[in-house]
Amino acid sequence: MKKRTNYYQNLSANYSKPGLVYQEMQAKLINLAEELISKKNEVFPLIDSNYSANQIEQENREWWPTHCEALRQGRGDILTGEYREELVYLCQDSHYQGLTEQQEREKHWWALIAQPNVTMCWPIVMFHHEVVYFEWKCEDDETNETIAKGNVTFLRRGHRGGVYLKTEQLTFYRDVYAPEELVNLIKL
């Protein structure tokens, strides 16, 4: 039988289930997220001998826990900062382009998955050069019910490039649009 994979081996934090990341690390990851966003080049970087696919993959591994923590904390400002201006976002709702088309819809998704007493987890994350694939689920902390789940593929050109393509399949079981009091908790 094939040995199971620990997808968080060699990453700075483990977001596969609730309760594994301490407050000190959470704050450290948010600070790092803000720093990494500032490294994004205005001009989309090429993959070449000065910026290799292997370096990009290593940068994506460094970035991954910051992305998870930003989602758990409802930091829409950081999440939007991860995207390139020319983002292409494909999901079952539509084909979005740029940073504004998906914002109204995405803020509801962020509000639902980052709401109080719900914890988002990423049990599977895989990297290959600029590809980051992951599966996620949100669990109600009291009832343990799954309120939402999905899978995402990012094409992220490391710290210099950011996310330029996002594909997503998501399923919400309890709500589809967040009530205004949850939307107001998302920092935009």
Question: The CATH number of the domain where 178 resides is what?
Answer: 3.10.450.50
Q: Could you tell me the pTM of the whole model?
A: 0.91
pLDDT at 167 over 80: yes
Which residues form the domain of 130? 23-183
Number of folded domains in the chain? 1
Phi, psi (deg, nearest 5) at residue 62: -65, -40
In a domain, 3, yes or no: no
In a domain, 116, yes or no: yes
pLDDT at 85 over 80: yes
Distances (CA, A) of 170 to 124, 147, 167, 174: 15, 11, 10, 13
- Residue 33 confidence class, pLDDT cut points 50, 70, 90: very high
In a domain, 9, yes or no: no
In a domain, 8, yes or no: no
In a domain, 152, yes or no: yes
Q: Would you state the pLDDT for residue 53?
A: 98
pLDDT at 81 over 80: yes
In a domain, 56, yes or no: yes
In a domain, 18, yes or no: no
Q: Would you state the pLDDT for residue 111?
A: 85
In a domain, 16, yes or no: no
